Amino acid sequence: MARKISILIVDDEDSVRDSLYSWFIEDGYAVECAEDALAALSKLESGNYDIILADIKMPGMDGLEMLRRIKTMRQEQIVIMMTAFATVDTAVQALKDGAFDYVTKPFDPDDLSHLIRNASRQIALEEENELLREKVVSLENIGDIVGDSEAMKRVLRDIESVAQSNSSVVITGESGTGKELVARAIHSNSTRRFFPLVSVHCGALTESLLESELFGHEKGAFTGAIYNRKGRFEMADNGTIFLDEIATISTKMQIDLLRVLETKKFVRVGGNKEISSDFRVICATNKDLKTLVEKGEFREDLYYRLNVVNISVPPLRERADDIPLLAEYFIKKYCHAMNRPPVTIEPQALRRLSEFQYPGNVRELENIIERAIVVGGGRKITLNDLPALHSTPVSQAESLEDLERVHIKMILDKYDWNISRAARALNVDRVTLYNKISKYGLRQAQ
């Protein structure tokens, strides 16, 4: 429900104050009155009013002087000036001093309604504008970056601080940690957000293909180049280019890339015209670039050009606190995508998920949840729906023997100590399994 608009009526005539008061009260506004400018200014010191309706001619301080004082206090305050003695000069002066409107008493009821409606609309627009500005300032497009752990909060803080700058960013982190999401969040919160974010997966392309992909090519530049083609740098003009797996690019590409980053100019493959493009570079890698530089596998000058800001995305095992939150997020995501009724996860299954190490990080957790929803088919994800985890539970076992004991126990539990089925699953014969049970002193839990 829309909030009540508040109005302050400033007029030295009782009858005017009373009649305006009654009129606005009947219209559902919150109304207060002041009998002169000083009383109005004092009310303004302690309270806020959306609209001030003030007479120009008042004893003591007149309405125009009051308007000027109000405007020095609150530039955006809406003040409507009223007068029974309209002159062009006072009207011009009032509007010059920042009055929202200027009306002659008495007014037509319809004019008064229009006046207040316009002022209310202005207030609503300003409030909406303020809201949108706040929204722009707050981080956007981070909905997919789920996590409440201190490590993730640090990543979000880094995104926020780096987004508004134009600096190159290197995002490091293991595979599946969500480096591309971080890049998207940086772009979405930068001044370049209305322009494209162009992603290039460097690792997936050969050197020649990557060259053509990044710089574009002219018709006939090589066999199969039937048309002119814009490169990714050109497409990212005014926006951001995201170079994933930057550590995989060849030495030649590193030189070309360094030149483009320095000049923001390049030539299409097979072309001779220099093209300019204004882009921001965000790179991602799961390798330690510094080590590659030391080994001579990555150019030092390119490293320093790219690594202005570094954001390190922690692996999932270092933020295990986020696993329940992520699990819930992915369950919702896939239930929605598959048009399935809401699915919950049983505590044991969630505990198992939390204990897992996730070499594939968040991507692996996402796949596990997706699979559990597809395969499980029920309203609840149970331990049985998480088969992928059976092989790699977190174990305190250090020796091979300990690991074997834990694994055999887990398989036996899974098949309710049905020796034949457990032996089949373990790919050993029943005798071997009995021997192992005996060797490790395994017993079925009562």
Cβ distance to other proteins smaller for residue 34 or 155: 34
For residue 152, CA distances in Å to 145, 182, 264 come to 8, 11, 33
Which helix (H) or strand (E) segment is 310 a member of?
A: strand 309-312
3-state secondary structure of 27: coil
Q: What CA–CA distance (Å, rounded) separates 412 from 334? A: 32
Q: What CA–CA distance (Å, rounded) separates 11 from 14? A: 7
Instruction: Report if residue 76 touches other proteins, rule: CB under 8 A.
Output: no
Cβ distance to other proteins smaller for residue 56 or 152: 56
- Contact yes or no for 30/5 (Cβ under 8 A): yes
Q: What CA–CA distance (Å, rounded) separates 170 from 308? A: 8
Instruction: Report if residue 398 touches other proteins, rule: CB under 8 A.
Output: no
Which helix (H) or strand (E) segment is 425 a member of?
A: helix 419-426
Instruction: Report if residue 59 touches other proteins, rule: CB under 8 A.
Output: no
Q: What CA–CA distance (Å, rounded) separates 296 from 292? A: 6
Cβ distance to other proteins smaller for residue 20 or 214: 20
Q: Work out how close the CB of 24 gets to other proteins at its nearest, in angstroms, rounded to a whole number.
A: 10
Instruction: Report if residue 65 touches other proteins, rule: CB under 8 A.
Output: no
Instruction: Report if residue 85 touches other proteins, rule: CB under 8 A.
Output: no
Type of residue numbered 240: T
Stretch that binds other proteins, among 101-109, 349-357, 388-396, 407-415 (CB under 8 A): 101-109
Among 1, 59, 88, 109, binds other proteins (CB under 8 A): 109
Instruction: Report if residue 371 touches other proteins, rule: CB under 8 A.
Output: no
Type of residue numbered 134: E
Q: Work out how close the CB of 42 gets to other proteins at its nearest, in angstroms, rounded to a whole number.
A: 23
Instruction: Report if residue 104 touches other proteins, rule: CB under 8 A.
Output: no
Cβ distance to other proteins smaller for residue 7 or 205: 7
Q: Return the residues of window 11-30 that contact other proteins according to CB under 8 A.
A: 13, 15-16, 18-20, 22-23, 25-28
Q: Work out how close the CB of 317 gets to other proteins at its nearest, in angstroms, rounded to a whole number.
A: 57
Closest CA to 270 of 233, 200, 232, 215: 215
| Binding positions for other proteins, rule: CB under 8 A | 13, 15-16, 18-20, 22-23, 25-28, 82, 105-110, 112-113
